[in-house]
């Protein structure tokens, strides 16, 4: 039996559509059949109506960067002391023991706050975490993160080849300093061949700048001691320039953070049609500074938001991420531009916009409602 969602208004993110008043969306429980004005749609509709009242409906939110495997580490890391101190405090904890109860709770909390799709990054337990997301109905890219110096032996897969109902397994790269150029290229190639997005952390902090430019620094020595320092040092160039020289940057790549990007780095990202995921609260939590949000947004780069893990944030709530960005942003965005950061742009970057990212016929019938505290920020 078809049902209908009704609300005072909606921002559907459909091409060319603004704010719709007296919104209605007819669905069959999983797929959207029709959207429009209730006055028009009610003429031919006889099913049950779920009236949400005086709220704004938007597409279900996309969290483009999270590490659910770290869900047991809330409050267990240092804040505001920079990346090296944060990593030291992170690895002092048991990181790779799966705490699936914590993962389950985290996914349930994300769903409750309106997130319907996420890109989860995991260096271990990828399949276990994907299984939890699948069971709870979270759409996902379960990103199997390559880290280290060697490409797996010939014949070994770069990421697990398992099928799920609500998501897919994707290969991702950790970072230029921790993952060999050869391995990053191999994972990128495997993703390209499978039509998958390729996420990687890029230009996150000063430590990364120094390692790529000169191969030096406290963090470089820490990585060297652990046998983890990649072959990227002493190129004298920026992380974005180095990633570009490796052929890693194109329209299928999602680079995460971009705190330390120059104007010419932004021009490279734009020219290569790269997708950017900003994690504003994580960068603030760790004490890495802030990305040049305004320049990135003005450049026209497809930009989305992610919370990063609970080990470097206060919660995994995408509304809170957007609120933080809007409150600190020095340019103003239209409601549609702001909402695209947590809906359509993330879906595009993760190659899932055929099912998520906007409310239109044929896509998943999943939506969120704008919390009242954000109404003023979005629609003022």
Binding pattern to Zn ion, positions 257-296, x when CB under 5 A? Answer: ----------------------------------------
Per-residue b/e over 75-85, b at no fewer than 16 CB within 10 Å? Answer: eebbeeebbbb
Instruction: Please say which residue, 207 or 308, places its beta carbon nearer to Zn ion.
Output: 308
CB of 121 to Zn ion, least distance (A): 6
Instruction: Please say which residue, 25 or 121, places its beta carbon nearer to Zn ion.
Output: 121
CB of 204 to Zn ion, least distance (A): 8
| Gyration radius of the chain over CA positions | 21
Instruction: Please say which residue, 13 or 68, places its beta carbon nearer to Zn ion.
Output: 68
Instruction: Please say which residue, 26 or 200, places its beta carbon nearer to Zn ion.
Output: 200
Size of the site for Zn ion (CB under 5 A): 1
Tokens 């890495």: give the residue. Answer: 288
Instruction: Please say which residue, 68 or 212, places its beta carbon nearer to Zn ion.
Output: 68
Interface segment toward Zn ion; rule CB under 5 A; list 31-39, 157-165, 296-304, 306-314 = 306-314
CB of 219 to Zn ion, least distance (A): 16
259: Cβ contacts below 8 Å, ≥ 6 apart: 203, 204, 205, 283, 288, 289, 290, 291
Instruction: Please say which residue, 35 or 275, places its beta carbon nearer to Zn ion.
Output: 275
What's the burial of 255, exposed, middle or buried (CB within 10 Å: 0-12/13-18/19+)?
Answer: buried
What phi and psi, each to the nearest 5 degrees, are found at residue 115? -80, 130
- Do 357 and 346 contact (CB within 8 A), yes or no? yes
**Three-state DSSP class for residue 190:** helix
CB of 281 to Zn ion, least distance (A): 12
CB of 226 to Zn ion, least distance (A): 18
What phi and psi, each to the nearest 5 degrees, are found at residue 73? -110, 25
Interface segment toward Zn ion; rule CB under 5 A; list 46-54, 73-81, 159-167, 308-316 = 308-316
Instruction: Please say which residue, 254 or 374, places its beta carbon nearer to Zn ion.
Output: 254
How far is the C-alpha of 152 from the C-alpha of 288, rounded, in Å? 32
- With the C-alpha atoms ordered 340, 64, 299, 313, is the resulting torsion angle positive or negative? positive
Interface segment toward Zn ion; rule CB under 5 A; list 76-84, 157-165, 304-312, 323-331 = 304-312
Q: How is 69-95 classified by DSSP, letter by letter?
A: GGGGGTT-S--SS-HHHHHHHHHTS--
CB of 122 to Zn ion, least distance (A): 10
- Region of 223 on the Ramachandran plot (φ > 0 left; ψ -120 to 50 alpha; else beta): alpha
| Contacting Zn ion within 31-70 (CB under 5 A) | none
CB of 165 to Zn ion, least distance (A): 25
Which residues of this chain interact with Zn ion, rule CB under 5 A?
308
């Amino acid at each position: 039996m078809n049902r209908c969602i009704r609300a005072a208004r909606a921002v559907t993110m459909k091409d060319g559509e603004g704010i719709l008043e007296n919104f209605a969306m007819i669905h069959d429980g999983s797929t959207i059949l029709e959207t429009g004005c209730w006055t028009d749609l009610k003429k031919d509709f006889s099913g049950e109506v779920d009236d949400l009242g005086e709220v704004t409906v938007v597409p279900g939110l996309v969290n483009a960067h999270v590490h659910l495997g770290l869900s047991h580490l809330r409050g267990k890391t240092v804040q505001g002391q920079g990346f090296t101190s944060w990593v030291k405090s992170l690895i002092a904890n048991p990181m790779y023991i799966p705490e699936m109860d914590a993962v389950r709770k985290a996914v349930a909390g994300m769903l409750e706050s309106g997130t319907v799709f996420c890109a989860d990054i995991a260096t271990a337990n990828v399949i276990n975490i994907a299984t939890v997301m699948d069971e709870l109905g979270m759409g996902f890219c379960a990103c199997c993160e390559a880290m280290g110096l060697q490409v797996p032996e010939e014949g070994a897969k770069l990421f697990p080849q398992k099928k799920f109902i609500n998501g897919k397994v994707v290969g991702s790269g950790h970072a230029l300093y921790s993952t060999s150029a050869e391995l990053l290229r191999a994972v990128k190639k495997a993703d390209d061949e499978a039509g998958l997005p390729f996420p990687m952390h890029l230009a996150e902090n000063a430590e990364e700048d120094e390692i790529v430019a000169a191969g030096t620094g406290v963090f470089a020595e820490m990585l060297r001691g652990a046998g983890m320092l990649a072959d990227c040092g002493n190129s004298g160039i920026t992380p974005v320039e180095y990633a570009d020289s490796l052929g890693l940057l194109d329209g299928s790549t999602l680079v995460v953070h971009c705190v330390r990007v120059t104007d010419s780095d932004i021009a490279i990202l734009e020219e290569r049609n790269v997708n950017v995921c900003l994690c504003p609260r994580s960068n603030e939590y760790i004490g890495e500074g802030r990305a040049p949000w305004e320049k990135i947004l003005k450049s026209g780069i497809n930009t989305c938001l992610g919370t990063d893990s609970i080990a470097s944030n206060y919660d995994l709530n995408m509304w809170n991420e957007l609120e933080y960005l809007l409150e600190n942003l020095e340019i103003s965005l239209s409601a549609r531009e702001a909402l695209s950061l947590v809906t359509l742009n993330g879906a595009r970057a993760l190659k899932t916009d055929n099912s998520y990212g906007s409310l239109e016929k044929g896509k998943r019938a999943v939506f969120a409602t704008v919390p009242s505290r954000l109404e003023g920020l979005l629609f003022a």
